Structure formats: C-alpha cells, structure tokens
Amino acid sequence: MLKTLKAYGFLLLVGGAVLAADQALKAWVQTHIPLGEVWTPIPSLPWFRITYWHNSGMAFGLGQAWGTALLILGAVYGIALFLAFPAIARNGWWLRWGLAIQWGGALGNLLDRIRHGSVVDFIAVGRFPVFNLADAAISISLLFLLLGEFLVNEPQEPASAESLSEPPSETVPHDL
C-alpha cells in the first residue's frame, strides 16, 4: 500500500509539475501574444521564436479532422496510465520518470482540447513545426523510455537449438 501511495505521489508531483508549467506558459502566450503573431525574445537567436497558434491535430499537424477522437484517446490514455502507474513504476527509474513526464504532457494537451477544442502551440525553432511544452515533455519522455530500455535491460540470451528440442522437465497429468 505504501509503495502504491509513493508511486501516485511521484506521478502527481512530476506529472503535475509538467502540467502546471505547460498550462502557465500557454496562458502567458495567450494573454501576451496575438494569435498568429511571432515574437523573437532573443534577437541574437532569430531561429528561436514564440508564436501563438492552435493545432486541432497531433504533432506536425497530422490528424486535423480527428478532434473528438484525439480528445477521447487522450482521456483514455491519461486514466489508464494513472491506474497502471503503481505497477509499472516498479520497473525502474527510467520508466518511472519517463511515464510521469509523459503523463503530464498528455494531460496538458488534453486540457487544451477540452478547453479550446485544439492544442495551443507556441514554440517555433527554425523550420520545425510549432509545438508546446507538453509536446516537448512527451518527446523527452520517449528518450527516457528508450535510454532505460538500452541502459538498464540486459539483452537476453536466445534459446539454443538444443534447449528447444529437449522435452520439458515436468510433465502435466492428462487424466484430471
């Protein structure tokens, strides 16, 4: 029980921090930058811009017509991860951090879809599509998950041909 409470505490702390930062930045952009306008906060870095934009689809503008489906998928994912997190979180540091960051990002975009019918994007880097902190968190979480997979998990030895051809050591009675 204590491990479950700790897992939920971790998820709410990390995911909540991502969600709060994402929503605070989006609120600032919405109140300070007109829709479609571009601001270059650091003139010596003209490739980094802040702009206020709405995206009714997913990353890179894909799925523009999937608004309601994306909202439902986001809600199902958020609830499922919340319910499964205590069991999943036992599988290591990388997974725990990655999923908590991802959950916060997913909730940030879900809240936008509920409140605005689309996601508020505001970070423009070079020619890359405009994105937001929630999108960045989801991308960073994937790095955590991949690093955890490659750095923590030992590759398993494939079964040899001999061990596959040997009969099982236990027998199961068939006359039950």
Please write the tens of the pLDDT for every residue from 107-154: 999 999 999 999 999 999 999 999 999 999 999 999 999 988 887 755
Distance (Å, rounded) from C-alpha 38 to C-alpha 49? 7
Answer whether residue 171 is part of any domain.
no
Two tokens at 45?
């870095």
List, for residues 19-38, the tens digit of each pLDDT value.
999 999 999 999 999 999 99
Residue with more model confidence, 127 or 173:
127
Tell me the catalytic residues: 121, 135
Domain that holds residue 126: 2-152
Q: Is 159 left (phi over 0), alpha (psi -120 to 50) or beta?
A: beta
List, for residues 54-88, the tens digit of each pLDDT value.
988 777 666 777 778 888 998 999 999 999 888 88
Answer whether residue 167 is part of any domain.
no
Stated pTM of the model:
0.80
Answer whether residue 85 is part of any domain.
yes
Domain count, the chain: 1
What pLDDT does residue 92 have? 82
Answer whether residue 170 is part of any domain.
no
Distance (Å, rounded) from C-alpha 60 to C-alpha 165? 50
Chain-wide mean pLDDT for the chain?
A: 87
Answer whether residue 146 is part of any domain.
yes
Enumerate residues 6+ apart whose C-beta is below 8 A from 68. Answer: none
